[in-house]
Amino acid sequence: MSLSIDQLLWLPVIAGVLALCTAYAFRSAILRSASGNEVMERIAGKVRVGAMAFLRREYTVIGPFVLAVALLIYVFIDRNPSNGTVLPLTAFSFIGGALTSALAGFIGMDTATRANIRTTEAARVSIVGALRVAFLSGATMGLSVVGLGLIGFVGALIIVLKVLDISVAVNVLTGFSFGASCVALFARVGGGIYTKAADVGADLVGKVEAGIPEDDPRNPAVIADNVGDNVGDIAGMGADLFESYIGALLATMLVGLTVAWGTQAALVFPLLLAAAGVISAILATFVVRTEDPAGVQGALKRGMIVSAALAIVGAFSLSRMVLPAEVAMGVFWSSAVGIAAGVAVGWITEFYTSYSFSPVRKLAGSAKTGAATLIIEGLALGYASTFFPMIVVAIAVGVAYSAAGMYGIGIGAVGMLSTLAMTLAVDGFGPVSDNAGGIAEMSHLPKEVRERTDALDSAGNTTAAIGKGFAIGVAGLTTLALFAAYREAAGLRGIDVSDPVTLIGLLLGGMLPFLFCAMTMRAVGRAAMSIIEEVRRQFREIKGLLEGTADSDPAACVSIATGAAIREMILPGLLAVLSPVLTGLLLGKEALGGLLAGAFLSSMMLGTSMANSGGAWDNAKKYIEAGNLGGKGSDPHKAAVVGDTVGDPFKDTSGPSLNILVKLMSTISVLTAGLYGSGIL
């Protein structure tokens, strides 16, 4: 291609603008839809107010943290004479990444809290209209994430290139990725604690103790539960995959600095591949439609397959136009295997978490003998479910490395994420459908409305599980590329696990994800206990509440969940940020390499097993609620509710946070590699 690098860099920016314009068009279409009656608007308004209040409080905590870290980056990184400048470019890049990530989460949640009531209203007529509104909400978030990512990341690169040469400029952008990672971790952990504390509190007291239906307006924790769907699975998931998107681009470009066949082409290609993915996702949104309630899952999968196929075509064309002939096909196969691996991991996750397949049906059958056997079977399912995804990731790594070296592994991650807008569209569709069902139940709408929203919600549960599996697969490829970038930045020839210092780091790294999960799960437990006590108090003290003649006080549960989530997210966040820095300073760069390797391995296994166990427990409960094994109110259903409650922090708090943990640790290690020597040992 005859265009210069400066000209080529504007192409991803243009694609980002196109993504945002399309997202705006989708959002406008949502807002033009009917919004329901006065009762529905009052309930949806409470959910929206609670969600925005949480986000506002969360950002007031994250903001000072971001500014403090930016100052430290300026003092210890930007003022390093080896960088050739004392301008605060890395610090500003860090702030830019944090702000862009926060904005992506805000747009997604603002849209979702306006789409939920419109999905309910559309479901009063048909499932076709309800699917359209819910899917457009998810697509708005997906396109906003990739649009803001490309505009922010590439825009920052264009600005920095006016001051620095290309190699230093790319390293400065490590700050952008670090900023996105910090916000993503707090958003995922804080949102996950909120949503699962509210969910556990609502289920245990409402469904198990009081015996009232899910989303019953008599339950004061129901509004908090619906708020949690937005702050955890919309804002949290959006920030999570925004961070993955930026991390994959950065890691590939850092490795691209070391290739011998053309640095400029190696740096531009992942950005152009991401831009092609935007076009693929926009085109694929038009095939997501169905007239059949049983065809919702198929419609969503069709969108993902079409998006992946178009992305492969785009990768082939770009590799022939941009790259030298001797490496073009190798890089293409790396991107193609990454895209295929993303689809494969999604299908495997669906097999283990959807009640259309035998693992979840077998799990539901174990509920006939009680909650204990259900928990045992669910844990075993999660452990077993690590086998095939890890085989797929291993094959992808092997093929990508054989085709194009470490650069190929990075391109595989970018290829997998090139379909991100569609992946987030089908993932964000789920919480909106869940909220729509809650609004239908609390508004006492006809039974057929709830049946339509339940059909959407059932499909949404599976797509949410697929999204988590996808994120873990992306984390594997991205972290390997970041690991190579750290090795280069630290001047290490390799990681020798027989070296005692490296082995110490390996052991510490392997332990950290378990400690992180312990912190986040206990946080959910503590917050849930507070909500349980509040719900019990209201049932006990508000006369006529259970009879339906008095109103509950949902604001109290919302306040408890918000305060607990904000308070509890701080310590796990500090653990993630400080552990690589302290390891590098105290034990040296070799031990830090071991730490990253250990954290990577245990995060992949633990994250996969927890997410799949939680998703399977959730859908086992829904399988029974669909009229199997005695249906709602039966003994197997009561056992399944307990299993689902145990699985809530597995699948929505601790498990999904691990892929952010390992990428954040890797990014901060690359950023600070020049600060570490041999340590005290």
Residue 671: the pLDDT is: 92
Average of pLDDT values for 51-74? 92
- Say how far apart CA 670 and CA 252 lie, in whole Å: 13
**What separation, in Å, do the N-terminal and C-terminal C-alpha atoms of the chain show?**
51
What integer best gives the mean pLDDT of the chain?
Answer: 90
Handedness of CA 634, 639, 640, 642 (dihedral sign): positive
Count of other CB atoms within 10 angstroms of residue 526: 14
Helix (H, G, I), strand (E, B), or coil: what is residue 356? coil
Separation between Cα atoms, residue 237 and residue 101, nearest integer Å = 11
Higher pLDDT, 464 or 238: 238
Residue-wise pLDDT for 519-553, tens only, equals 999 999 999 999 999 999 999 999 988 888 888 89
pLDDT, mean of residues 377-383: 97
pLDDT value of position 674: 87
Checking if the pLDDT of 128 tops 80, the result is yes
Burial bucket for residue 499 (CB in 10 Å: 0-12, 13-18, 19+): middle
Stretch 587-612: mean pLDDT:
95
Is residue 408 within 8 Å of 400, Cβ to Cβ? Answer: yes
pLDDT digits (tens, 9 = 90+) for 67-79: 999 999 999 888 7
Exposed/middle/buried for 588, CB within 10 Å: 0-12, 13-18, 19+?
Answer: buried
pLDDT of residue 236: 84
Q: Which of 1, 115, 94 is nearest to 47 (CA)?
A: 115
Opening angle at CA 44, ends 41 and 49, nearest 5? 115
Q: Are 666 and 572 in contact (CB under 8 A)?
A: no
Structure token digits, residue 258: 């070391």
| Per-residue model confidence (pLDDT) at position 5 | 73
Transcribe 608-632 into DSSP letters. Answer: HHHHHHHHHHHHHHHHHHTT-TT-T
* Over residues 60-89, mean pLDDT: 83
Q: Where are the alpha helices (DSSP H) in 124-221?
A: 127-160, 166-172, 174-202
pLDDT digits (tens, 9 = 90+) for 13-40: 999 999 999 999 999 999 999 988 999 9
Band of the pLDDT at 311, cuts 50, 70, 90? very high
Q: Give the per-residue SS3 of 105-125.
A: HHHHHHHHHHHHHHHHHHHCC
Q: How confident is the model at residue 620 (pLDDT cuts 50, 70, 90)?
A: very high
- How would residue 584 be classed by pLDDT, with cut points 50, 70 and 90? very high
What is the H or E stretch that residue 64 is in? helix 38-73
Summarize pLDDT for 424-473 with one digit per residue, the tens. 898 888 889 989 998 998 898 998 998 888 888 877 777 777 777 777 88
* Rounded average pLDDT over 651-670: 91
Q: How far is CA 390 from CA 462, 477, 498, 608, in A?
A: 20, 11, 25, 9
| DSSP code for 355 | T
Question: Looking at residues 640-655, what average pLDDT do you find?
Answer: 91
Taking the C-alpha atoms of residue 139 and residue 582, their distance in angstroms, rounded to an integer, is 40
Integer angstrom CA distances of residue 138 from 11, 415, 459: 25, 21, 13
Which of these, 355, 577, 349, lies nearest to 474 by C-alpha position? 349
CB atoms within 10 A of CB 96: 20
Quote the percentage of the chain above a pLDDT of 70: 98
CA distance 604 to 662: 9
- Residue 2 has what pLDDT? 58
pLDDT of 155: 95
Q: Give the C-alpha separation, 572 to 664, whole Å.
A: 12
Q: What is the mean pLDDT of residues 628-649?
A: 91
User: What is the domain partition of the chain in residue ranges?
Assistant: 5-675
Residue 80 is predicted with a pLDDT of: 61
Q: Is the pLDDT of residue 81 over 60?
A: no
Mean pLDDT of 143-167: 93
Outline where 418-446 has alpha helix (H).
420-442
Contact 353, 363 (CB under 8 A): no
Cβ–Cβ under 8 Å, residues 186 and 661? no
The CB-based long-range contact list for 63-68 (8 Å cut-off, 24+ gap) reads 65/182, 65/186, 65/573, 66/94, 66/95, 66/98, 66/179, 66/182, 66/183, 67/95
Q: Give the whole-angstrom CA distance, residue 426 versus residue 233.
A: 12
Q: Tokens 């803001």 — which residue?
A: 148
Q: Is pLDDT larger for residue 122 or for residue 427?
A: 122
Q: What is the pLDDT of residue 460?
A: 77
Average pLDDT (212-222) is 85
Give the pLDDT score at 15.
96
Q: Specify whether the CB–CB gap between 470 and 553 falls below 8 A.
A: no
pLDDT of the residue at 681: 65
70, two tokens:
């930016």
